[in-house]
Amino acid sequence: MAEAGAWQHQKHTLLFIGAGFCPYCAAMRWPVALTLLRFGQLDLLTLTRSSAHDVDPNTPTFGFRQARFTASRNSLNFHSLELMNRQRQIDQVPTPAERALMQRLDRPPYTRFANGIPMIVVGDRMVLLGAPVSPALFKGMDWRQVITVLSSGHGPLWKSVMAETTALTKAVCTITGEQPSRFCKSPAVVETSRAISTATSRNMSFNVTVGGLVGTGS
């Protein structure tokens, strides 16, 4: 992640900017959600997929549109902005401050490609544009199958998602005063199996551990 520079009044916020149709955004919502669950409770996720008419069509993911994040003994806030829906129709309109931030960061050295999403900004310090997690890794899977793979502790998808979860966790720790210490100060944040939270969606609940996910149907 690159240094973002000052983002006034948002130094304790993780900002996710994406779009419903975007397969790269779909892939990155997994490590973003896992990261948030290390710092609090994430509720009201809705199951969805990326566009059926894009590269890596129908990548399984979930929406942050209605999600609610509650921090646990730390200062983290979460804000998401979905620019378009799955049908490429305008969804959420950026505020002037959000638009100015996007224009400032949507250029080198932060990215080589203009108009790139997803964009993840951690406080006033770090920014990531694009998707280190390839949506091709989710090909042919539904949400339960993704959870099973992420719970297994091995394989290319698990390795990629957990690597980004760890990177995001380290970035968030810089804006929460290194709290909670069991994640921020542990050299083995990926290996520990301690459950920390539960995220609830319309169709499935996720019992989230640091090492992966265990899905239970409703």
How does pLDDT run across 126-169, given as a tens digit for each residue?
788 778 999 999 999 999 999 989 888 889 999 999 989 988 99
What's the Cα-to-Cα distance from 133 to each of 25, 47, 115, rounded to whole Å? 9, 19, 18
Predicted local confidence at residue 170, as pLDDT: 86
Predicted local confidence at residue 25, as pLDDT: 96
Indicate the SS3 state at residue 95: coil
Compute the residue count for the chain: 218
Residue 89 burial (CB count, 10 A): 9
Q: Which of 137, 167, 136 is nearest to 150 (CA)?
A: 137
Q: Regarding beta strands 13-18 and 77-82, do their DSSP bridges make them parallel or antiparallel, or are they unpaired?
A: parallel
- Model pLDDT for residues 29-63, shown as the tens digit of each residue: 999 999 999 899 998 888 999 999 999 999 999 99
What's the Cα-to-Cα distance from 186 to each of 166, 169, 180, 217, rounded to whole Å? 11, 11, 10, 32
Q: Tokens representing 144?
A: 């339960």
> What is the rounded average pLDDT of the residues 171-189?
79
pLDDT > 70? residue 213: no
Predicted local confidence at residue 196, as pLDDT: 25
Predicted local confidence at residue 75, as pLDDT: 83
Average per-residue pLDDT in the chain?
A: 79
Predicted local confidence at residue 88, as pLDDT: 96
> What is the rounded average pLDDT of the residues 9-28?
90
39 backbone dihedrals φ, ψ, rounded to 5°: -115, 0
Q: Regarding beta strands 13-18 and 195-200, do their DSSP bridges make them parallel or antiparallel, or are they unpaired?
A: unpaired
> Quick one: pLDDT band at residue 187, thresholds 50, 70, 90?
low
